[in-house]
Structure 1
Amino acid sequence: MEYLGASSLQNLQALSALLSQQQEEEDDEDCKNVPASAHLGPGNIGPPPKRDKEVSTSCTERKSKDIWNEEEVAEGSQYDDVDDQRPQPEYEIILKQSVGTEDLFLGMSRKDPSSMCCEAMLVKIKLPDTKATDVVLDVKETFLDLRTPKYKLGLHLPQPVHSQEGKAQFFSEREELEVTLLMKRPMDIINM
């Protein structure tokens, strides 16, 4: 049998005092015969949780008949139209890096071939039988909306982009639209 040291004995005594203290605090007559350990659970470990007043007031402030708030709706969902029967064109998303000779041959920067080191996103959209003047393009931070008389594309982008800093180019011989978007990347060791 293992010997319990003085610290273990003190821990047991402190636990016993804690349990008996909680039993004294309860004034309910029906619970007097139940041992104090039966009243404890995982939620009794540690300090009592702090009550956030903001959480409780935000639920009570909303008294309208709305089912959801505008913040809860994903960006680009207003473009979803189930009644619109136009087909979705073929598209391809390519991630791009700016790589120089110092990166390629000398390895002087911390860039690697992973997608974490990419700065731009190229979206290639095939639009057969379409003129450049027929294309309506709207780019948001996480959504690309393209409409033509024959096609409709609502694309949720894999990474947030700078919506005002992109460029688009239509190649009529290939009947393809190329949209280049700069991605929003947090500044860290990789993206310096």
Structure 2
Amino acid sequence: MIVVEILIVSFFLIWGIATLFYQFRATEMYISIYNYFSLVPKWTFFAPIPKTTDYVLYYQDYDIDTDQVFDPVEIDLYGNETRFAITKLIWNPEKRPLKALTDMTSLLLKYKKKHRRKIDKNSLVLELYTPYIVLVNFVNNYAQPSSQNCKRRFLIYSTYGYFSTDDPTKTFESYFHEFD
């Protein structure tokens, strides 16, 4: 019984130390070599350039029978709450979906850049990455398919500021996936 307890404590101790070192650029590369399943978290509290880029999530359906690709549809992550409250300066759970999208997009872009050669050889390298799976699952459950025999993909666009006149730019485009 003591051996099991020692193994469990050792695992969490190593995981905690790895998490601590994963936050620093000097040691991040060494930890990421062994972080196959993204079990060691990377904490991101602020955007690299705060308040300059927002991400917008879209889904797009493809009808296999008619070989028709439908127009992308924006997914509303802002919620219905428009009223300002002073408590939102401290506690604002309505922003969690946006924060999750920002974090997952950041992880996807870093992963795609780091593993681009592997992804070019085998797309499953990207498709089995946890943030990719989470976004595919979210998008596939967001709305009913456009037709009976349909595939869906997600698209992430970048916008530059609230009052920007620039068109959004496509940041990430997934593969089409079947519904389960």
Larger radius of gyration: 1
Looking at secondary structure, tell me which structure has more helix per residue. Answer: 2
By relative contact order (CA 8 Å, sep 6+), the higher-ranking structure is: 2
TM-score (norm: length of structure 2): 0.29
Under a length normalisation based on structure 1, what TM-score does the superposition of the two structures give? 0.28
